[in-house]
Amino acid sequence: MTDRQFKGIWIPAHIWEQLDLTAAERCLWAEIDSFTNAKSGYYKTNEQAAEELGISQRSVTRAFAKLENLGAITIEKSGVRRVAKSTPWRDVLDTVASNTSHDGEEGSPQWRGIKNKEKNKLKNNENTLLMPFEGKEFEALWRTWCDERKAYTKGRYTPYAQQRALNKLERLSYGDIERARQIIDQSITNAWKDFYPIRQERNAQRAQLDRDAALKWSAQ
């Protein structure tokens, strides 16, 4: 299998506009799409993908499963290697349209980020949020965050803004619900409108940068 010469990542509009996907999931999809042709596909391991995307291997596994479940990619085996290929966008739209009337049935792909000009084929799901964690516990935590944020923030917290915040929370928490809880608690305690890395971790990172800079200076 011939390696592709890396020239950066170009993310097609139909991928970037899927706001129900995290940025890492969209980047992974774009990478798979760039490798896809008649003879090859994306064959990198979870470890390689995690390193390139800056996320955990667990998040990579979830991303592959999510994209495959949505019908965005197909996955095959080539010997011991996994080979992923991007599904043509027109085929994805046809699948979504055919499943819209059966929304909620088991095994039916659930797309919520299709562009407005294509939504005439689909059920309107613009107010539906895709939660990064399953279960009523996180849903209750998210409602608490929205209520607290509303108390000190003017303006409506739109579904679009909430989905972006949820995607950012998943990224900052590395897919760990306990870390997500700490990040939300930190923002509520400080009356912040957004999410940020856990303060202790930021301080540790800064300290490490200071140590690295000092070592570099002393070596000169």
Q: Is the pLDDT of residue 216 over 70?
A: no
The DSSP H or E segment spanning 73 is: strand 73-78
Assigned CATH topology for domain 1-125: Arc Repressor Mutant, subunit A (1.10.10)
How far apart, in whole angstroms, are the C-alpha atoms of residue 179 and residue 84? Answer: 31
Provide the pLDDT for residue 123: 35
Q: List the chain domain ranges.
A: 1-125, 129-220
Which amino acid would we find at residue 44?
K
| Least trusted range by pLDDT, from 14-18, 51-55, 212-216 | 212-216
Answering whether pTM is above 0.75, one says: no
Q: 105-129: per-residue pLDDT in tens? A: 433 345 554 444 343 333 333 456 7
Rounded to whole angstroms, what are the CA distances from 124 to 88, 119, 127, 132? 23, 7, 8, 21
Q: Across 16-20, 81-85, 126-130, which has the greatest mean pLDDT?
A: 81-85
Write the burial class of residue 28 (CB in 10 Å: 0-12 exposed, 13-18 middle, 19+ buried): buried
Provide the pLDDT for residue 124: 35
Write the burial class of residue 129 (CB in 10 Å: 0-12 exposed, 13-18 middle, 19+ buried): middle
